[in-house]
Amino acid sequence: MIPAPFDYEVAESVDHARELLGSREEAKALAGGHSLLPLLRLRVVRPSLLVDIGRIDGLSYARDAGSQLAIGALTRHHDIATSPIVQEHNPLVSYAAGLIGDPQVRHRGTIGGSLAHGDPASDLPAVMLALDAEIDVAGADGVRTVKADAFFRGAFETAVLPGELVTEIRVPKLSGEHIWSYLKFRRRAQDWATVGVVAVARRNGCVSEPAIALVSMGATPLRAPVAEAAWAAGDDPGAVADDGTDPPSDTNGTGEFRRHLAQVLVRRAVEQAGGDR
């Protein structure tokens, strides 16, 4: 289908983008376009103005920020997957980015777009939740930092308000003590996850600070606190992996199938994280 008519403006800076986005109630930012354009074509969204943020300088980077790794909102999935600095300091993020869609999607899609879109089937939101990431959002009153656990509010609903822009994402650097895994079950290589599981923890004799996050098991990416406690206690986290979840039923699988998958994948993810790489 052809999108409903809209105006188009190119933003030259973050401030310019905020100004343009704030100028109309129905304005939307356009980054890689790989989630927004399909919605426009289906006329699920009908913005009166598209603000192209893709050409703003200085929002595509990955840099050392002390104990954290900072990633610019316009950094494309491919660049995250192949960035030496991300691979060195947080290989979980680069690995998960490399599993998104197909090469075309990874060369256009951005981390900021993926988080702001708030699709519970996307990979990076769950990774950010497991890592307790910080997300900078620029608005009329300046930049505020939102923790990942407060960022995802519902299906396709995030803490980003009209007129605001995600500018930077920060994740902790993983040390030699960290163990991690990301497992994504999908029918075809380029598909979204039917269920995905992120597992990360510290291991220094015993497992501490366990984090398990689930993709496609509810309206938002979800932490699995009961499974995390079981992992730390040396019990089977798979048996309780779907506690507190509300998985959807769709063409990829029923909710019941997803619950089963979550149990199997959490068990495997924890095993894989604990194994030698």
Among 126, 160, 200, 265, the residue binding ligand FAD under the rule CB under 6 A is 160
Stretch that binds ligand FAD, among 2-10, 87-95, 100-108, 127-135 (CB under 6 A): 100-108
Query: With helix as H, strand as E and coil as C, how does 216-233 read?
Result: CCCCCCEECHHHHHHHHH
To ligand FAD, the closest distance from the beta carbon of 28 in angstroms equals 4
To ligand FAD, the closest distance from the beta carbon of 129 in angstroms equals 13
List CB contacts of 52: < 8 A, sequence separation 6 or more. Answer: 8, 9, 10, 11, 30
To ligand FAD, the closest distance from the beta carbon of 24 in angstroms equals 13
152 belongs to the binding site for ligand FAD (CB under 6 A): no
To ligand FAD, the closest distance from the beta carbon of 18 in angstroms equals 10
109 belongs to the binding site for ligand FAD (CB under 6 A): yes
Which of 172, 169, 174, 180 has its CA nearest to residue 62? 169
CA distance 215 to 221: 5
Of residues 33 through 92, those in contact with ligand FAD by CB under 6 A are 33-36, 53, 73
Of residues 207 through 236, those in contact with ligand FAD by CB under 6 A are none
Question: DSSP secondary-structure letter at 79?
Answer: H
List CB contacts of 49: < 8 A, sequence separation 6 or more. Answer: 6, 7, 8, 9, 20, 23, 24, 26, 27, 28
To ligand FAD, the closest distance from the beta carbon of 162 in angstroms equals 10
116 belongs to the binding site for ligand FAD (CB under 6 A): yes
Sign of torsion, CA 183 185 188 193? Answer: negative
Which of 145, 158, 90, 171 has its CA nearest to residue 118? 158
Number of residues that bind ligand FAD (CB under 6 A): 29
Closer to ligand FAD by CB, 102 or 235: give it.
102
Tally of CB atoms within 10 A around 201: 23
166 belongs to the binding site for ligand FAD (CB under 6 A): yes
Q: How far is CA 22 from CA 50, 113, 151, 170, in A?
A: 12, 18, 20, 26
165 belongs to the binding site for ligand FAD (CB under 6 A): yes
To ligand FAD, the closest distance from the beta carbon of 30 in angstroms equals 5
Of residues 3 through 32, those in contact with ligand FAD by CB under 6 A are 28-32
192 belongs to the binding site for ligand FAD (CB under 6 A): yes
105 belongs to the binding site for ligand FAD (CB under 6 A): yes
To ligand FAD, the closest distance from the beta carbon of 102 in angstroms equals 7
Pairing of strands 49-52, 7-10: parallel
CA distance 70 to 172: 9
238 belongs to the binding site for ligand FAD (CB under 6 A): no
Return residues touching ligand FAD (CB under 6 A): 28-36, 53, 73, 100-101, 105, 108-110, 112-114, 116-117, 122-124, 160, 165-166, 192
